[in-house]
């Protein structure tokens, strides 16, 4: 496809001449991309917020009584060899009681009448970030449960499942919204270019009779589609940034949690670029389907 | 330069041209004549491939139109200048841009376009109207803009469909003088007209059509 300087001039003339149709398309595309960017903003922040949780996640392995230091060391060694394990800490029953007493120092009556320490020795296992998924953890606990000397394993099964369902829910809903809106934007560009084409049928017919190639006729429409899409992308970028700024400055005083919201810098490039690409895609489909 | 061999063209149930054969040599200036509906415009359309013949062969400027792919039609048309009966001027562009369009579609540079367009407009006495829009021009002026657009790219063949149809005798004579000048530079010309005055006593080849049939080829 040859894009001569004159193709850009023809596109600019048409953008000016048909400014109301074009403006309407730009605003429609901007609205669509705004919804997408809000969805991306939510997904980005959910991801950032939940991203630090795996570091705090730990498995507690309770050991059988009187296991002996040698067997405990062997168990620690075996656990450290596992790929998903980042760190293993041995917590003797006395230390566990000390920690418990520190935690419940305002409720000392709980320990009254206790002659001996009922807590078992335990191991605290921290996992590598990529291993903290419900399936991975379930497999690991199964393996550890079969090891000699292990009495019981405790981990936040419900918390972990909830965390993952939130993440996958955000991802599924986000992807569905993005897919529908992307198709909508392509359709808007497709329809706009088709209308522009039909409004210039007479001119195009004259171009053809003068010897214009299909590429010469198509190029201005593809440029126009790209410009409309990119303009929509830029307006959506400005809108989403204003929205972010308002939420950050005005609403965070009411809901303090909102002060932690992050704005992904990638959006500065992503929105105009995706607008451009979607606009070009719609225009290419439109001029490809037209008979002339 | 232009050769028709047993060409027939039908429109639905009606025959527009029947078994037409003739030859126009390189550099020749010829006329097609006949009453309205005799097939003059159809014959010109077949030459610039706006229509396809149902039977027969056409050759133009070395192009065999039977073998011509759709993607090659623009390149055939770049060898042919056409003065359309309905002008086909772009109303939202001024005279300069209308004429320049024939060069822009060829990808010519703007500097060269300016030189060629002004030169051509001068030759049809319209240099002073280059910024005017078609609506602000008289019929004769519009006709000359179309001629300027057809000749600006120095085509091998120039076709004109009723070029003096809407003109007064003085303007018609001026247009014919322009055509003779173009022809004198070596351009092959075919002019469709029902105005006998244009070819009478010129000694040029005249192709006579009636009801889509060739009734004679001879000097005017």
Per-residue pLDDT, B169: 84
Whether residue A13 lies inside any domain: the answer is yes
Cα separation, A174 vs A168, whole angstroms: 10
**Partner-chain residue, chosen from A203, A209, A216, that has the shortest CB–CB distance to B77:** A209
Task: Give how far A204 is from chain B: nearest CA, Å.
Answer: 10
Same domain for A225 and A196: yes
Task: Give how far B197 is from chain A: nearest CA, Å.
Answer: 29
Considering A155, A179, A204, which residue would you say is the last residue of a domain? A155
Structure tokens at A13: 């003339």
Structure tokens at B163: 């070029």
Same domain for A174 and A148: no
**Bridging pattern class, strands A122-127 and B2-11:** unpaired
Res. B119: pLDDT tops 70: yes
Chain B residues near residue A6 by CB distance under 8 angstroms: 104, 107
Task: Give how far B175 is from chain A: nearest CA, Å.
Answer: 21
- The reply to whether residue A209 touches residue B82, judged by beta carbons under 8 angstroms, is yes
Res. B56: pLDDT tops 60: yes
Same domain for A106 and A136: yes
Task: Give how far B104 is from chain A: nearest CA, Å.
Answer: 7
Cα separation, A220 vs A10, whole angstroms: 6
Same domain for A144 and A97: yes
Same domain for A210 and A268: yes
Run of H or E including B161: strand B157-161
Considering A124, A155, A186, which residue would you say is the last residue of a domain? A155
Res. A292: pLDDT tops 70: no
CA torsion sign for B86, B92, B95, B96 is negative
**Partner-chain residue, chosen from B74, B82, B104, that has the shortest CB–CB distance to A213:** B74
A208 touches chain B (CB under 8 A): yes
- The reply to whether residue A206 touches residue B105, judged by beta carbons under 8 angstroms, is no
B107 touches chain A (CB under 8 A): yes
Q: How many CB atoms lie within 10 A of CB B179?
A: 21
SS3 (DSSP) at A132: coil
What are the residue boundaries of the structural domains of chain B, listed by start?
1-79+157-220, 89-154
Structure tokens at A129: 């970030």
Domain count, chain A: 2
Which CATH number goes with the domain that contains A82?
3.30.70.3040
- The reply to whether residue A210 touches residue B107, judged by beta carbons under 8 angstroms, is no
How confident is the model over A59-75, as pLDDT tens digits?
A: 899 998 888 888 899 88
Residue tagged 């029947």 (tokens): B18
Same domain for A268 and A197: yes
Whether residue A161 lies inside any domain: the answer is no
- The reply to whether residue B107 touches residue A4, judged by beta carbons under 8 angstroms, is yes
Same domain for A199 and A69: no
Same domain for A65 and A21: no
Structure tokens at B8: 């027939």
A290 touches chain B (CB under 8 A): no
A271-279: average pLDDT: 95
Q: How many CB atoms lie within 10 A of CB A145?
A: 12
Instruction: Tell me which of A128 and A189 has the higher pLDDT.
Output: A189
Task: Give how far A2 is from chain B: nearest CA, Å.
Answer: 10
How confident is the model over A19-51, as pLDDT tens digits?
A: 999 999 999 999 999 999 998 888 888 878 776
Chain A residues near residue B88 by CB distance under 8 angstroms: 205-206, 209
Q: Which CATH class is domain B1-79+157-220?
A: alpha beta
B127-135: average pLDDT: 95
A70-97: average pLDDT: 88
Whether residue A198 lies inside any domain: the answer is yes
Structure tokens at B16: 């527009």
A16 touches chain B (CB under 8 A): no
Asked whether B121 and B148 are in contact (CB, 8 A), the reply is: yes
Task: Give the distance from CA A99 to its chain's centroid.
Answer: 38
Same domain for A176 and A33: yes
Residue of chain A whose alpha carbon sits nearest to that of B151: A210
Cα separation, A59 vs A123, whole angstroms: 8
**Bridging pattern class, strands B157-161 and A122-127:** unpaired
Per-residue pLDDT, A291: 64
Whether residue A230 lies inside any domain: the answer is yes
Same domain for A282 and A172: yes
Per-residue pLDDT, A258: 77
Model confidence at A261, pLDDT cuts 50, 70, 90, reads confident
Alpha helix positions (H), chain A: 5-17, 19-51, 53-56, 69-80, 93-103, 134-145, 157-199, 201-210, 214-246, 267-289
Chain B residues near residue A199 by CB distance under 8 angstroms: none
B145-173: average pLDDT: 90
**Partner-chain residue, chosen from A5, A205, A207, that has the shortest CB–CB distance to B105:** A207
Going from the C-alpha of A62 to that of each of A92, A113, A151, the distances in angstroms are 10, 24, 5
B114 touches chain A (CB under 8 A): no
Residues of the domain holding A243: 5-52+168-289
Calculated CA dihedral for residues B132, B137, B140, B141, nearest 10 degrees: -10
What does the DSSP 8-state code read for residue A73?
H
Residue of chain A whose alpha carbon sits nearest to that of B51: A209
Asked whether B20 and B216 are in contact (CB, 8 A), the reply is: no
Same domain for A175 and A143: no
Whether residue A22 lies inside any domain: the answer is yes
Structure tokens at B45: 């359309």
Cα separation, A128 vs A135, whole angstroms: 14
Same domain for A76 and A43: no
């Amino acid at each position: 496809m040859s894009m001569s300087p004159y193709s850009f001039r023809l596109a600019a003339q048409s953008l000016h001449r048909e400014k109301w149709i074009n403006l309407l398309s730009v605003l429609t595309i901007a609205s669509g991309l705004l919804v997408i960017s809000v969805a991306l903003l939510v997904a980005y922040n959910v991801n950032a917020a939940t991203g630090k949780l795996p570091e705090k996640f730990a498995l507690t392995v309770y050991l059988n009584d009187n296991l002996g230091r040698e067997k405990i060391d062997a168990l620690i060694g075996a656990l450290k060899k596992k790929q998903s394990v980042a760190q293993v800490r041995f917590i003797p029953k006395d230390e566990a009681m000390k920690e418990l007493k520190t935690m419940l120092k305002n409720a000392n009556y709980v320990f009254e009448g206790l002659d001996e320490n009922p807590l078992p020795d335990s191991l605290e296992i921290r996992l590598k970030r990529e291993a903290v998924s419900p399936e991975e953890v379930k497999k690991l606990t199964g393996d550890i449960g079969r090891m000699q000397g292990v009495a019981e394993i405790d981990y936040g099964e419900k918390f972990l499942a909830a965390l993952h369902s939130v993440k996958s829910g955000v991802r599924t809903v986000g992807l569905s919204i993005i897919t529908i809106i992307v198709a909508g934007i392509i359709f808007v560009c497709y329809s706009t270019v088709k209308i522009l084409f039909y409004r210039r049928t007479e001119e195009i017919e004259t171009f053809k009779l003068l010897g214009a190639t299909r590429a010469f006729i198509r190029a201005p429409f593809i440029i126009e589609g790209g410009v409309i899409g990119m303009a929509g992308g830029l307006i959506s970028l400005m809108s989403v940034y204003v929205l972010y700024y308002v939420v950050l400055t005005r609403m965070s005083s009411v809901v303090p949690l909102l002060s932690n919201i992050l704005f992904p810098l990638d959006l500065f490039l992503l929105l105009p670029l995706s607008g451009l690409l979607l606009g070009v895609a719609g225009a290419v489909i439109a001029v490809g389907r037209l008979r002339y | 330069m232009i050769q028709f061999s047993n060409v027939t063209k039908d429109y639905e149930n009606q025959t527009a041209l029947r078994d037409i054969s003739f030859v126009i040599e390189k550099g020749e200036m010829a006329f097609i004549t006949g009453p309205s509906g005799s097939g003059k415009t159809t014959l010109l359309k077949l030459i610039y491939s706006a229509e396809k013949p149902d039977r027969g062969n056409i050759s133009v400027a070395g192009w065999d139109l039977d073998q011509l792919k759709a993607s090659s039609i623009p390149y055939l048309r770049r060898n042919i200048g056409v003065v359309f009966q309905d002008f086909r001027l772009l109303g939202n562009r001024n005279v300069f841009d209308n004429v320049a369009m024939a060069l822009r579609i060829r990808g010519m540079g703007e500097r060269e376009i300016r030189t060629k367009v002004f030169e051509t407009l001068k030759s049809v006495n319209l240099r002073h109207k280059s910024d005017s829009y078609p609506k602000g021009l008289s019929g004769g002026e519009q006709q000359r803009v179309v001629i300027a657009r057809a000749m600006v790219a120095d085509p091998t063949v120039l076709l004109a469909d009723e070029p003096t149809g809407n003109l007064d005798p003085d303007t018609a004579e001026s247009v014919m003088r322009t055509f003779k000048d173009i022809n004198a530079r070596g351009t092959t010309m075919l002019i469709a007209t029902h105005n006998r005055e244009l070819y009478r006593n010129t000694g040029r080849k005249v192709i006579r059509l009636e009801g889509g049939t060739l009734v004679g080829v001879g000097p005017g």
